Structure 1
Amino acid sequence: MRAITLLGTVSLLAIFGGCRGARRGATSVTPVATVAAPELARVPGADSVRADSMAGRAKAAGKDSAVQPDSNTRPDSTARPDSAALGKARRDSVAAARKRPATKAASSATTRNCVLDFADSPPETRLFYTRLPDSTANTFIGGGFVGRCQGENNRISADSLEQFESAGIVNLYGNVVYEEPNKLRITAAHGTYLTREGRLLADGGVVATQPASGSTFSGPNIEYYRVMPGRPVSKLVAPNRPTAQLIEKDSTGKPGQPTIVTADRFEDLGDTLVLGWGDVIITREQIIGRSDSLAFNKTTQLARLVRAARIRSVDTSRAFTLNGDTIDLFTTDKKLVRVLALHSATATAKDLVINAERIDLRLKEQKIDEAYAFGKGRARAKTPQQDVEADSMRIVLTDQRPREVRAIGGAEAKGVADTLKIKSADRDMLRGDSLFAYFDTAQLATDTSKQARIKEIRAFGNASSLFQIASKQGPTARPSLNYVRGQRIFVQFDTGSVRDVRVDSSASGLYLEPAADSLSDSTVQKTPAKKPPLAPVAPLPQPPAPIVAPLSAAVFTISRRPT
C-alpha cells in the first residue's frame, strides 16, 4: 500500500513540476511558404529537469520519513529548516545586483535581434522556418528576398537568405544589395549581416556607393558599421587594396572631376573623413600623389599625405614636383589652390629648385604662382645662374619660372660668371640682411626654351659683394676682383654678366687686378739656349799662282793708314 502511495505521489510531482512556469510567447512572423508543424513545437527542456529533480526528492522522502517533501507540492506545508538561508541568499543577490552598474539596459538596447520583414519579396519566394527551444528561430528563404529588419532604416535584397536568430546572424547569397536611403548602397556577391552589432560583411566584387556625393569604394571585401546607439557615425572599412573614387560637388551641386585613390586599406567615417594606409596613390586631374598614408576631410576639402609624401604634375607645360615627409593639399571650389610640404621639403619647377624645412606653394590654374620657403634651418633656391640662401624666401613665378626672389635673414646669393667672357671655377657673391633678385621674363614670352636670366640684385643692410671682372686679354686670362661693401648695393646684369655695381651709404671696397706672370719676370736668370751644331763647310778652292814680273819693271807705292 505504501509503495502504491509513493508511486502516485511521484507521478503527481512529475505532472505538476513539468507544467510549472509560464511559456514565453513566440515571435509573430508572417510566413511566405508552408511551415512544418512539428518544427514549431517547443521542447520544455528546463521544465523537464525541474520535474526530474522533484521526483527524485519525493522518492528519497519515501525512503526516509525524516525528510519532508518540498513545500511547493503542498500549500499548507511548513518551510524547511534551510528556507531561511535560501531567502537570505536571494536577498543578498538582489542587493548585489542593485549595487552593480547599470550596463544591461544599454547593452540590450544595442543588441536586439533582427525581425525580418519581407513583405516586398516576390511571389516565388520560399520559406522554411524552424522554432528553437529558446523561443528563437532559424529561417531559410529562397527564390529571392527583399526586405529589412524591423525598426531599422535599411533595405536588404538577395537571391537567398538564412537567418540564425539566436546568434544574430543573417547570411545573404547572390546579388546582394544593402541600402540605406540617401546614404549608402552596397552591392556584392555574398554578405553577412550581424544584427546585434549593426555590421555588414560583404565580399565578392563589392562596390559601395554614397548617393549624396557619388563617391564609390570598390574592392574584394568591405565592412560597414551602421549608426546605432553608442555609435553616432557610420564607418566603412575596405581592406585588401581597394580603390576609392572621390567626387566633390560645388556650391551649385555640380560634381567635379573624380579623384582616384588606391591604398592597402580604407576607412570612411560618416561620409566625411576618409583615411587610407599603405602605399597610397592619388590621381587628381593632372596631379599624381604618393605617400604611406592619407587623410581627407570632405567638409573642409583638406587632404594630408603622411610619410614619404610626393606629388607631381604630369602636364609637361605645368611640370613641378614636391617632396616632403608630410604634404597638405588645400582645395577651393574643387580646385587645388595650395600645397604645403613639411619636414625637409623640396620643390622643383622649370629653372628652379627650392629646399627648406617647409615649402608653401600657391597655385593658379594648376600652375605655381608663388612659393614660400621657411622653417627651421636655412631656405635655399637654385636657378641656372644664381643660388640664393636665407632664413626665409618668397618666390614669384611666371609660367612656373622665377620672376622675383625675396630672401630675408642673412641672405646670400652666389652666381656663375659669364662663361663666354670668364673661364673660372669661382663664383660671384652678394650678401646682405635681405636680398631682392629680379629675373628677365620678357624674353621668355617669345622663346620658352631659354632660361630665365638674372637682371638685377639688390642687397639691403650690411651689404657686401665680390664680383669677377673679365680681362681684356680674353676669357682665358685671369679676371680682376671687385669687392665693395655698404648699407645698400645694387648690381645690374647684362646677358648674365655684371654690368654695373652701385653702392649706397658707407661705401668702401677694393679693386684687385691679377699679378703678372712670375715666369716672365726679368730678375729670374735665364739659361741660354744651346745652339745647334754647325754643318761642315767645304774647303775653298786654291787661288791661281801669281805672275812674277821682273824687278826692273815693277813700281811700288806704300802708304800707311793714318793712325
Structure 2
Amino acid sequence: MIRSRLLALLVAASCLGSPLPAQEPDSTAASGLDECVLTWRPIESDTRSVTNRDVSGAHVTHLSGRYLWICGSATMQADSAVKRDGPRLVELFGNVVYRDTIRTLKSDRLLYFQLSDFVIAEQNVELLRLTDSSTLAGPRVEFLRAVSGVDAFTTAPGRPTVTFYPTSGESREPFVVESDVAIFAGEDEARFHGDAVITRSDMNARADSATLTRTEGSGVMWGDPWIEAEQIRLEGDTIRFRSENEELEEVHATGDAYASGDRFEVRAEVIDIALENREVDAVWAHGEGVGEAASGAHLVYGDSLYFAMYGSQIDTLYAVGNAIAIQQDSTAATEGSTEDETPGAGEEAAGDSTEVRADSLASPAATDSAAASPDSAAVAAPELATDGSMNWAKGDTLIAAFERSAEAVSDTAAAPAPLMSKLDLIGNASALYRMVRDSAASSRPSLNYMIGVRIEVGFRDGGPHAVAGDHAIGVYLEPREVFGLEPAADSSGTAADSSGTAADTLSGAAPADSAGTPPDTLSAPPDTSSAPPDTSSAPPDTLRRRVHAGIPGRVAVPVRIPPAGWLRPPRTPAGQRSRRVP
C-alpha cells in the first residue's frame, strides 16, 4: 500500500518537471458576453513552443517565430509571444500586427487580456481607424476588442499625434492634432485633452481640450482656446467651428470673446465669423453687455456689431443699440492740419493703426468694467469728451462705410488702416466733430455740434469733411482768428478752448470769463437757457430743414436753443404774439 502511493507521487513529480506541448485552451472556460475562444497556429516554418508552470502552478507557454492568434473577429501576430494561463494574458513581441472590425494596429509590444478583451499596445504604435482612415501614432494605445459599439473607444496617452479626417471622400484634407491624451470615441468622434494643438492648411488652433467630429467637420475647443484662420485670430472661453468641403466655414467664440485681424479688432460676449472661399465674409459681435470694435483710429460701441467684409477688407460696419463712434486723435485728421499737430485719423495716422487699436481695446474703462461686474461684458461704453479732444457721434443705430483699398494686401505686407468714407446715425443722433474749414484763415479746427433724428458725417482722406442732419439743430464754432481777432491767451495750447464759446465766437466779441469753457454737449445742446428764445435770425423752418455745416461755400446759421420746458405762447385775441420767459 505504501509502495503504491510512493510510486504515484514519483510519477506526478516527473510530470511537473518535464515540458509539455503547446496547450489549446479549454472552450468551457470561456464566459461573458461575446467572449472568444483564443486559438493560435504558426504561419512560418521553424517555430517552436515550450510550456512550463509558474510558481502558482499555471501553465506558461513561450513561442518563437510568427504565430497567428485568433479571437473572434480579431487577429494578432508577432515574432514571438508568451501565453500565461493564470491571468489569461498573451504578450506579443516584435513587429506586432493587430486587426479587428474597426481598426488595424502595429507596435513593438502588445498585451491581450482574455477575460476583459482589453488590449494594450506599446512602443512605436501606429493605429489606423478603418471607418474614416484616421491615424494615431504614439507610445501607447489602449482599447477593447471590437465586440460592440461601446468597445470602439481607443485611448492613447503619452502625447500622440492624430491625423483626423473630418469627412469622407476621395480628396480630403485632415486635421493634425497633438495632445497629452487622445481618444477615438466610436466611429465619428475624436477627443483630445492636455494642450491640444490643431493644424490644417486653413487654420491653426490651440486649447486645453478639444473634440472633433466627422459630422460636417465640426469641432469644439475649451480651456483658453484660440484659433487663427485666414488672417483672423479668435479667442474666448469656448470656440466652435465647422469645416465642410475642405474649408473652414464658420467659427464661433463664446464668453469674453475677442477677434483681431489686419484691419480691425472686436471684443464682445459672443463673436461669430463666417468664411467663404477662404476669406472672411462677415463678423458678428453680440451677446450681453456692450460690444467694442476698433478699426484704424475709429472705435465703435454697440449692443450688437456686424462687419460686412469684401475681399477680407471692411466694407460696412453696423452698430445697433446704444451705438457710439469715436475717432481718436482727430486734430490732424482734418484738412489743412499743421505738422505740429498730433496725428489722427488721416493718412499719417494710418501707419500706426495697429498700436492705436491695441491701446484702445485695452483701455482702463474696459478693464474696470470687467472687474466690477463679472456677469457683464468685458467692455463698457466710454465717456464722451466735450472739450473737442475727440470726434464722436452716437445714436440708436450706426452705419459706417469704409473705403476699399485698390491694392491687394499680401500675407507678408502690413495691411493699411481702413479709412471711413461715410458715417450715418439714425435715431436720437448727436455728433461733435472738429474740422478745419478754411486753412488760410486758421489752422485750428472749428467745432461742429449737432443733434437730430438722423445725422450724416462725410469723410475725406479719413478725416471728417461735412456734417449734415435731418430734423436737426446744432452749433458751429469758428476759431477767433477767422473773424480777425487774436486767439485767447489761454486757448493756444489746449484743444478744449481752441474755438471759444458759442455766443462770443459767433458775435465776434472777446469774452472775459469764458475763453476756456468748452461747450456742454452731453447733457444739453449749447447753453442759451439764460436768454429768451431768439429766432429772428433763423428762418421759421429751422427745425425741419436739413442743416449743413463745415462745407466750404455754405454759411452756418447760428441758432439759439430754447431752454427745457419753454413752450410757444398762444396768440393774443388781437392777433399779436406775446412772449413769456419761464
TM-score range, shorter chain: 0.5 to 0.7
The residue number in structure 2 matching 1:125 is 47
* Whole-angstrom distance in 2 between the partners of 1:522 and 1:434: 39
CA contact (8 A) 2:323 2:394 kept: yes
The residue number in structure 2 matching 1:336 is 248
The residue number in structure 1 matching 2:496 is none
Q: CA deviation at 1:503?
A: 1.2
The residue number in structure 1 matching 2:161 is 243
**C-alpha deviations, 1:390-423, integer Å up to 9, x for none?**
0011101122221000100100011243155343
1:351 to 243, 263, 277: 263
CA contact (8 A) 1:355 1:380 kept: yes
CA contact (8 A) 2:104 2:130 kept: yes
The residue number in structure 1 matching 2:78 is 158
Q: CA deviation at 1:166?
A: 2.8
**Where do residues 116-265 of structure 1 align in structure 2 (5 Å cutoff)?**
116-119=38-41, 121-130=43-52, 137-149=59-71, 152-181=72-101, 183-228=102-147, 232-250=150-168, 253-265=169-181
Larger RCO, structures 1/2 (Cα 8 Å, 6+ apart): 2
Number of residue pairs aligned between Structure 1 and Structure 2 = 420
1:421 aligns with 2:341: no
1:288 to 193, 196, 204: 204
1:109 aligns with 2:32: yes
CA contact (8 A) 1:236 1:268 kept: yes
Judged with a 3 Å threshold, the aligned counterparts in structure 2 of structure 1 residues 522 and 355 are, in CA distance, closer, same or farther, namely closer
The residue number in structure 2 matching 1:383 is 295
1:485 to 430, 451, 461: 451
2:395 to 432, 435, 444: 432
Q: CA RMSD in A?
A: 3.4
1:407 to 319, 325, 337: 319
TM-score, normalization: structure 1? Answer: 0.68
What is the SS of the residue equivalent to 1:143?
Answer: strand
The residue number in structure 2 matching 1:509 is 474
* Whole-angstrom distance in 2 between the partners of 1:470 and 1:523: 23
Judged with a 3 Å threshold, the aligned counterparts in structure 2 of structure 1 residues 255 and 212 are, in CA distance, closer, same or farther, namely farther
CA contact (8 A) 1:227 1:234 kept: yes
* Whole-angstrom distance in 2 between the partners of 1:284 and 1:205: 24
1:269 aligns with 2:191: no
What is the SS of the residue equivalent to 2:236?
Answer: strand
CA contact (8 A) 1:349 1:400 kept: no
* Whole-angstrom distance in 2 between the partners of 1:519 and 1:413: 32
* Aligned AA (2:66): G
What is the SS of the residue equivalent to 1:232?
Answer: helix
* Whole-angstrom distance in 2 between the partners of 1:499 and 1:473: 13
* Whole-angstrom distance in 1 between the partners of 2:445 and 2:179: 59
**C-alpha deviations, 1:478-529, integer Å up to 9, x for none?**
3221111111112222222223222113x211122345523499999xxxxx
* Aligned AA (2:283): A
Q: CA deviation at 1:142?
A: 1.2
List runs of 5+ in structure 1 lacking aligned partners. 1-7, 19-34, 42-106, 525-563
2:428 to 447, 462, 465: 462
What is the SS of the residue equivalent to 2:451?
Answer: strand
CA contact (8 A) 1:324 1:343 kept: yes
CA contact (8 A) 1:110 1:197 kept: no
What is the SS of the residue equivalent to 2:237?
Answer: strand
CA contact (8 A) 1:444 1:450 kept: no
**C-alpha deviations, 1:285-332, integer Å up to 9, x for none?**
14211111111122342111111111124xxxx422112221111112
**C-alpha deviations, 1:422-471, integer Å up to 9, x for none?**
43682211111010111121645699964322111111111111111215
* Whole-angstrom distance in 2 between the partners of 1:108 and 1:421: 92
The residue number in structure 2 matching 1:309 is 225
* Whole-angstrom distance in 2 between the partners of 1:523 and 1:484: 23
CA contact (8 A) 1:121 1:147 kept: no
Judged with a 3 Å threshold, the aligned counterparts in structure 2 of structure 1 residues 382 and 430 are, in CA distance, closer, same or farther, namely same
* Aligned AA (1:348): S
* Aligned AA (2:279): K
* Aligned AA (2:461): T
1:299 to 215, 218, 229: 215
Q: CA deviation at 1:132?
A: 9.2
* Aligned AA (1:481): L
The residue number in structure 2 matching 1:558 is none
CA contact (8 A) 1:404 1:437 kept: yes
The residue number in structure 1 matching 2:488 is 518
**C-alpha deviations, 1:236-284, integer Å up to 9, x for none?**
111111111112444xx21411211101111111132211111111111
Q: CA deviation at 1:131?
A: 7.8
Judged with a 3 Å threshold, the aligned counterparts in structure 2 of structure 1 residues 280 and 202 are, in CA distance, closer, same or farther, namely same
What is the SS of the residue equivalent to 1:109?
Answer: coil
* Whole-angstrom distance in 2 between the partners of 1:277 and 1:477: 62
1:453 to 412, 419, 427: 419
Judged with a 3 Å threshold, the aligned counterparts in structure 2 of structure 1 residues 11 and 354 are, in CA distance, closer, same or farther, namely same
**C-alpha deviations, 1:146-200, integer Å up to 9, x for none?**
1212xx211100011111123121111111111114x211111111111111111
* Aligned AA (2:294): K
* Whole-angstrom distance in 1 between the partners of 2:408 and 2:171: 36
CA contact (8 A) 2:166 2:213 kept: no
What is the SS of the residue equivalent to 2:223?
Answer: strand
* Whole-angstrom distance in 2 between the partners of 1:379 and 1:435: 13
Judged with a 3 Å threshold, the aligned counterparts in structure 2 of structure 1 residues 511 and 522 are, in CA distance, closer, same or farther, namely closer
* Whole-angstrom distance in 2 between the partners of 1:311 and 1:522: 59
TM-score, normalization: structure 2? Answer: 0.66
1:279 aligns with 2:195: yes
* Whole-angstrom distance in 2 between the partners of 1:446 and 1:173: 57
What is the SS of the residue equivalent to 1:159?
Answer: strand
1:374 aligns with 2:286: yes
List runs of 5+ in structure 2 lacking aligned partners. 10-14, 22-29, 345-388, 481-485, 491-508, 513-582
* Aligned AA (1:511): Y
* Aligned AA (2:263): D
* Whole-angstrom distance in 1 between the partners of 2:59 and 2:475: 102
CA contact (8 A) 1:249 1:255 kept: no
* Aligned AA (1:260): V
CA contact (8 A) 2:221 2:240 kept: yes
CA contact (8 A) 1:388 1:407 kept: yes
Judged with a 3 Å threshold, the aligned counterparts in structure 2 of structure 1 residues 233 and 143 are, in CA distance, closer, same or farther, namely closer
Identity across matched positions, percent: 26
